[in-house]
Structure 1
Amino acid sequence: MSFDLSEFLTEGLIDSINNGLIPSDLATVYAGNYLVKSLITQAQVTQVSDAITAYKAAQASSTIDNSNAQ
């Protein structure tokens, strides 16, 4: 069994975004730095970007739902 660093970094960023542990802007910076250092691929940066978009959409939806409930 081998360790895949690029998968670990990508999953870590996505999990951190989804759990609200790091701001999406910081995750974007990390992903860019990892890409420049060839630690992750462009496809993985796209995965992180898609996760950020989904997280922001979920947050916006949650905000709308909360304001409608009041």
Structure 2
Amino acid sequence: MSFDLSEFLTEGLISSIDNGLISSDLATVYAGNYLVKSLITQAQVTQVSDAITAYKTAQVSATVDNSNVQ
């Protein structure tokens, strides 16, 4: 079993987004930098982008749900 740096970086970014540890803007910058340095692929950048979209959608949904409760 070998270590896959691109998978590690991609999963780390997605996990950080999902847990609110870094902003979506910062994750986008990191993903872009990793892509330029050939540390991750375009497909992995797309995975990060999809995770950002899902996180933002969940945040909006939670905000709407909370405003309906009040």
TM more than 0.5: yes
When the two chains are superposed, the root-mean-square deviation of aligned CA atoms in Å is: 0.2
Give the corresponding residue for 1:13: 13
Deviation, structure 1 residue 21: 0.2
Give 1:48 deviation, angstroms. 0.1
Equivalent residue for 1:45?
Answer: 45
Taking structure 1 as the reference length, what is the TM-score of the superposition? 1.00
Partner residue, 1:28:
28
Q: Tell me the alpha carbon deviations over residues 18-64 of structure 1, each in whole angstroms, 9 at most, x when there is no partner.
A: 00000000000000000000000000000000000000000000000
TM-score by length of 2: 1.00
Structure 1 gaps of 5+ residues are: none
For the residues of structure 1 that align with 2:45 and 2:23, how far apart are their CA atoms? 16
| Identity over aligned pairs, percent | 89
Q: Once superposed, which parts of structure 1, at least 4 consecutive aligned residues long, lie more than 6 Å away?
A: none
